[in-house]
Amino acid sequence: MGKIRVLSEQLINQIAAGEIVERPASVVKELVENALDAGAARIDIEVARGGRERITIRDDGEGMSHEDALLAFEHHATSKLRATEDLERIASLGFRGEALPSIAAVSRLALRTAERNAGGAAGGTLVEIHGGVIRDVRPIAWAGGTELVVRDLFFNVPARKKFLRAEATESAHIARTVTHYALAWPAVHFTLLSGTRRVIDVPPVRSLDERIHQLFGDEFLADMISVDAQEGGVRLSGFISGPHQRRASTEAQYFFVNGRMVRDRLLATALSQVYRGIIPGGTYPAVILFVEIPATDIDVNVHPAKTEIRFRQAWQVQTFIRRTLETAIRAHRPFASLADWAAPAEPADTPAGDTPTGETGSAADAVRQRVHEALADFSARPAPPMERRFTFTHGSTGAPDATTASPADRRPETMAPPVPGAAATETGRWRVLGQWRESFIVAVSPDELLVVDQHVAHERVLYEAFRRQLGERAVPRQRLLVPETLELSPAHREELDRAAAGFEIEPFGSGGTVVIKAVPAMASRVEVELLVRDILDRLGDAGASFSIDEVQRRVAAALACHAAVKIHTPLEPEVMQSLVDRLLAAEEPTTCPHGRPVVLRLHIRDVEKGFKRA
């Protein structure tokens, strides 16, 4: 007997749906696209439990007739495409006639719709479909426009349901999707209600700038470089971040091609080429970029979720984009001064190569000032006698814990002084000789010469201390004298709660503002806003899908990076010795939380070999 069977129609539909509907946000994307294609001026979205329980989308677009309302759920039934030629110049967001049948196959769905003029008394239509099976069709009173209610997504596809992430993750994806379309269509009023929270409410505005203000707050545009250029039939416009803004993920990158949100490799490549020499590896710019190109020059029919496209003249487009961005950045800020942090000529006056934002001039001074303050208590002590200075180390149990110290001693875990009375278990194992270029600590052990990167060493020490505090649920907090208010994007607000280890964060007013009232004591001297933004960046797109442990890891890494002493900072010998001692007591003294080396060693054997003494 043969082994090949033809699949049942229901199974076929579920498989097809799987390609289009990956998660609740894909439903939102398809339905928002439909509403936009229908010419809606207002789109209201409501989701319950991250869209897993319910997604409701209402629009005031052209609506559907009774007949069309049923046809809409047939596969390959679309009003947007008629002939093969149309496929080569798709101007609408939808074109396949696949979205509605796919969503209907994997949920319990209700459609209410009426054509704009035919609405009213009983001019509307209700269609209910559960798992692809029509349950009800009847005329209803409906004012016009369309509403779709999608319940229990994947109720009949348990395999897919298992892959759904925490509610917060799915909500964040939805918020990001709506943010995307809200950026591309400033003239449309979007609202997004997630549970009882009004995440987005952006009335129509005339320009992208205004829409960005609505979504991201006042500060977002301040440091952005505007771009607008045209070549041949292609136009590139929008905003990109300059050299001083760096994100730890691509989360703050929004790309559009002809109003469609895309994940495009060509654009991503162009971006990385442009920023390669401008911001450090592993960091990313923020961009909101629109490409407008004749519909005949792209193929949008290459990806089931329509999020990828193909440019017919890929190379030219990529080159155009790269040149345009390079020109924009150069005009904004001459490259010569980028050397501030890329290749410092005057180490003493330039900030660290890896501070979260490039700081120059007075900002750099401020950083150093803060470090000095952090160390002030210690520096003020009389220097220990020379012999003793190099003889104390902390035992392998670790540095004194800020949580157990007496209240008077409880100070930010920045660079605590050594404890002179502590048991010297491995006396003088690493003896600090001095500081090189105000960035590296040179030390020796009996067998090795060691060069320690002061920033990453401190980062490692702080990282472990903070992880320990988190583990013991005993993070000392520092109330901020002046609470810090922040404007956050909708998706970010969704994520902040989970990441909030040691922070005290509250919503403030309606819009997108939160107020930070307390921070982990360790971070009491850093710039809170930069820190919080960095944390959110590190959590990135996938943020809420991380385990708590991974979230804490990333929060701790961000915190350590911000609180650690920077390079190009002069340090007292005692401070260096303390740092080295504490590094030795760390669990993983060899690499920083990001995997970079902390210490370079030269063994005496190699030295002797070099001098031909071996």
Ligand X SMILES: Nc1ncnc2c1ncn2[C@@H]1O[C@H](COP(=O)(O)OP(=O)(O)OP(=O)(O)O)[C@@H](O)[C@H]1O
Q: How many CA atoms lie within 13 A of 214 on its CB side?
A: 24
CA distance 532 to 535: 5
Q: Which residue has its beta carbon closest to ligand X?
A: 94
Residue number, 22 or 201, with CB nearest to Mg ion: 22
Residue number, 144 or 243, with CB nearest to ligand X: 144
**Chain contacts with ligand X (rule: CB under 6 A):** 30, 33-35, 37-38, 59, 61-64, 72, 77-80, 94-100, 146
* Minimum separation from the CB atom of position 36 to Mg ion (A): 9
Q: Which does 574 bind (CB under 5 to 8 A by kind): ligand X, Mg ion, none?
A: none
323 near 331, Cβ under 8 Å?
A: no
CA distance 140 to 302: 39
CA distance 147 to 119: 13
Q: Which does 400 bind (CB under 5 to 8 A by kind): Mg ion, ligand X, none?
A: none
Residue number, 35 or 364, with CB nearest to ligand X: 35
Q: Give the closest residue to 358 by CA, choosing from 293, 284, 295, 280.
A: 280
* Minimum separation from the CB atom of position 12 to Mg ion (A): 20
Q: Which does 325 bind (CB under 5 to 8 A by kind): Mg ion, ligand X, none?
A: none
Q: Which residue has its beta carbon closest to Mg ion?
A: 94
Residue number, 77 or 530, with CB nearest to ligand X: 77
The β-bridge partners of 426 are none
* Minimum separation from the CB atom of position 261 to ligand X (A): 14
Q: Which does 197 bind (CB under 5 to 8 A by kind): ligand X, Mg ion, none?
A: none
Supply φ then ψ for residue 189, to 5 degrees: -85, 115
* Minimum separation from the CB atom of position 109 to Mg ion (A): 14
DSSP state of 594: T
* Minimum separation from the CB atom of position 96 to ligand X (A): 4
CA distance 333 to 577: 40
Residue number, 118 or 433, with CB nearest to ligand X: 118
Q: Which does 98 bind (CB under 5 to 8 A by kind): Mg ion, ligand X, none?
A: ligand X
Q: Which does 59 bind (CB under 5 to 8 A by kind): Mg ion, ligand X, none?
A: ligand X
**Chain contacts with Mg ion (rule: CB under 5 A):** 34, 94, 99
* Minimum separation from the CB atom of position 135 to ligand X (A): 18
Q: Which does 61 bind (CB under 5 to 8 A by kind): ligand X, Mg ion, none?
A: ligand X
Residue number, 94 or 344, with CB nearest to Mg ion: 94
Residue number, 237 or 301, with CB nearest to ligand X: 301
* Minimum separation from the CB atom of position 301 to Mg ion (A): 13
57 near 45, Cβ under 8 Å?
A: yes
Residue type, 360: T
The β-bridge partners of 55 are 47, 150
H helix or E strand, kind and range, residue 307: none
* Minimum separation from the CB atom of position 98 to ligand X (A): 4
DSSP secondary structure letters along 478-546 = EEEEEEEEEE--HHHHHHHHHH-TT-EEEE-SSSSEEEEEEEEGGGTTS-HHHHHHHHHHHHTTTGGGS
Q: Give the closest residue to 573 by CA, choosing from 437, 389, 335, 392.
A: 389
Residue number, 100 or 329, with CB nearest to ligand X: 100
